[in-house]
Structure 1
Amino acid sequence: MTTTSVNIEDLRTLIAGVLEIEPEEVTDEAHFTDKLEIDSLLMLEISTRVETEYGVPENTVVISGARTLAELHAFVTSNLVGETSAGPVIRPRPLSDPAVRLFLFHHAGGSHLLYRGWAEHFPQDWELCLLEAPGRGQMQALPLIDDCDRLVDYFHTAIAPLLDRPFGFFGHSMGSLIAYQLTRRLHHEGDPLPDWLGVSAYGASRGEAGADGRPHLMSDDDLRGWLRNVGGSTPQLLDNDAVWHKFAPVFRNDFKLLDTWAPPRAPEPLPVPLSVFGGRRDKLIGEDRLLSWQAFTTHFRGLERYEGDHFYLMNHRRPLAAAITAAMRSAAA
């Protein structure tokens, strides 16, 4: 991992150069779309220049979700300094002797960037471990995995050395399925179990696609339209053909994993406290699907819903981190 420093003023000058405006017009909190009128093509140009200047992995900036200069600076910094990676495990704030480890699993088509900036909202003696599936982000060189059991195998091997202290799992969307299946694997093999399992924006009773069809088999136009409708990705990715064609295979791979997963018949409830989270305006997962998790645990800790769609968590990091911290501490008491 490079140790190149990232000066926010250099980023300000870079963006101003692309927009052909004065640097002082690019304030730290000016929204790229609303205030600076940066469209998908301009964002792609900014991304390319940032990636070239700092060696950030290709196309990660454009899908990072950065909406202001401050967020872009935090993203680039997190990718260059203060973040260590041990294969698929990224630790934004590595600790030599953490009191707790919290493992975070990302959504379909996503990467560990979903949880960028989360570490600052958790206790200082907690170590967050962001899981990165192969074929994206820092793991771009590895082949994609389109089977749930195989991806669980991959993550099981990666985190096994880190289960030497209290730990918890939290997954969003596809990440919920992986976190649940990994917990089942640990239980079946007699390995240490998480003190707590958190699942977000995913229903327990059946595969994710459900009545919406099988996204991995949709045409390109249909898949992009479906993702726009359900709020499944950023406009920068969906509206730019070059970026979309780069990431479409990742979406199809992950949706195939979800579409082909066969839920266990009458699974034994896990002896792990389980909490559920979701967005009130989520078009993919309603309250009934979220509550279906009650049958999959002996210690159901309830459902918390936040304002927003399938990616509600992007706008509720601080309260969600507080809820996760409280749930973990209550489960461990």
Structure 2
Amino acid sequence: MTTAPVNIEELRALIARALEIEPEEVTDEAHFTDELDIDSLLMLEISTRVENTFGVPENTVVVSGARTLAELHAVVVSKLVSETSTQPVIRPRPLRDPAARLFLFHHAGGSHLLYRGWAELFPQDWELCLVEAPGRGRLQSLPLIDNCDRLVDYFHTAIAPLLDRPFGFFGHSMGALIAYQLTRRLHHGGDPLPDWLGVSAYGAPRGEAGADDRPHLMSDDDLRGWLRNVGGCQPQLLDDDAIWHKFAPVFRGDFKLLDTWAPPRAPEPLPVPLSVFGGRRDKLTGEDSLLSWEAFTTHFRRLELYEGDHFYLTSHRRHLAAAITAAMRSSAA
């Protein structure tokens, strides 16, 4: 990977060539989709050019969600900082001595970008830690981990040095399973436990999935159709063949992790306060399934439902952040 400085003018010229316009038309703050009319295929082409020119990981631009030249420049510069390129914990607002840490775990097929912008919604003396699985985002150069226990091992090693003060876990969808299993791992190992555990849009552990409930075994067309039907993926990833084929292996690997995980038999309830969150119109996880988490903790807090589907949280960030803050503070009191 190159370590040469990234000149914003080089990026401006690269984008201009892809759009066949003059460089001065690509201003620093011009919005890619609204003002420069860059669609998903053009963004994929620009991403490839950026990767080849600057030596950043594959699909950097598409995954980053950069909306302007200035944002893209910041993303590329961050990619070239080698000491952070393989770290699974992203701290948007690093603090020297945080009062608490909140670890956020993303959904299947997703990345830490699910929680982009969340740090500003929490207390200023809290440090948010966005935990990213290998094979996506900043960790695209690493192989996917499609086994739950191995991914928990990987995260356990990564976060162990950060458990030196009060902390909490929050996981959405697949991230809820990872947060739960990681809490069990800490409990069984005699390690510090989170003050609070939050699970979102994922039902409590149950028996193994049947043959019809294993998305990782579906054909490509069936998997796309299933994701579209249940609202388990952003439509733009499903509607564009080129983008879908970039992300399909990540979805399939994550679903293999979920489909092959064997729930514990009669697990001991965790001695950790647990709150549950979900969307009222979630086709993947119903209210009864969410409420069944009560049996997995000695301190069940409550179920909070919001208007929306499986990704309800993108429309309720501020309210959800307030609920998480209140739950953590109450649990630590």
User: Which amino acid in structure 1 is aligned with residue 147 of structure 2?
Assistant: D
Q: Conserved in 2, the CA contact under 8 Å of 1:273 and 1:297?
A: yes
Q: Conserved in 1, the CA contact under 8 Å of 2:28 and 2:70?
A: no
Match of 1:192 in 2: 192
Match of 2:232 in 1: 232
Worse-superposed segment, 199-208 or 172-181 = 199-208
Q: Conserved in 2, the CA contact under 8 Å of 1:148 and 1:261?
A: yes
- Once residues 3 and 186 of structure 1 are traced to their aligned partners in structure 2, the CA distance between those partners, rounded to angstroms, is 41
User: Which amino acid in structure 1 is aligned with residue 95 of structure 2?
Assistant: L
User: Which amino acid in structure 1 is aligned with residue 256 of structure 2?
Assistant: K
User: Which amino acid in structure 2 is aligned with residue 316 of structure 1?
Assistant: H
Match of 2:268 in 1: 268
Q: Deviations over 1:140-196 (max 9, x none)?
A: 222221111111111111111110000000101001001000101111111100000
Match of 1:163 in 2: 163
CA 1:246–1:97: 2 relative to 1, 3 Å: same
- Once residues 142 and 22 of structure 1 are traced to their aligned partners in structure 2, the CA distance between those partners, rounded to angstroms, is 35
TM-score with structure 1 setting the length: 0.84
Match of 1:252 in 2: 252
Unaligned runs of 5+ in 1: none
Worse-superposed segment, 49-58 or 303-312 = 49-58
CA RMSD of aligned residues (A): 3.4
SS in 2 for 1:276: strand
Q: Conserved in 2, the CA contact under 8 Å of 1:16 and 1:23?
A: no
Matches within 5 A, 1:57-96: 57-64=57-64, 69=68, 77=74, 80=77, 85=84, 87-96=87-96
User: Which amino acid in structure 1 is aligned with residue 179 of structure 2?
Assistant: A
Displacement of 1:50 in angstroms is 5.8
SS in 1 for 2:168: strand
- Once residues 307 and 24 of structure 1 are traced to their aligned partners in structure 2, the CA distance between those partners, rounded to angstroms, is 41
- Once residues 29 and 117 of structure 1 are traced to their aligned partners in structure 2, the CA distance between those partners, rounded to angstroms, is 20
CA 1:168–1:80: 2 relative to 1, 3 Å: farther
User: Which amino acid in structure 1 is aligned with residue 183 of structure 2?
Assistant: T
Q: Quick one: percent identity of the two aligned structures? A: 77
Q: Conserved in 1, the CA contact under 8 Å of 2:186 and 2:192?
A: yes
How many correspondences in the alignment?
328
Match of 1:287 in 2: 287
Worse-superposed segment, 200-209 or 115-124 = 200-209
User: Which amino acid in structure 1 is aligned with residue 315 of structure 2?
Assistant: N
SS in 1 for 2:62: coil
Match of 1:223 in 2: 223
- Once residues 16 and 281 of structure 1 are traced to their aligned partners in structure 2, the CA distance between those partners, rounded to angstroms, is 44
Match of 1:18 in 2: 19
CA radius of gyration, larger in: 2
Match of 2:128 in 1: 128
Displacement of 1:22 in angstroms is 11
Worse-superposed segment, 297-306 or 161-170 = 297-306
Q: Deviations over 1:244-301 (max 9, x none)?
A: 2222221111111100111111111111111111112111011111111111111111
User: Which amino acid in structure 1 is aligned with residue 204 of structure 2?
Assistant: A
SS in 2 for 1:62: helix
SS in 2 for 1:144: coil
- Once residues 310 and 30 of structure 2 are traced to their aligned partners in structure 1, the CA distance between those partners, rounded to angstroms, is 25
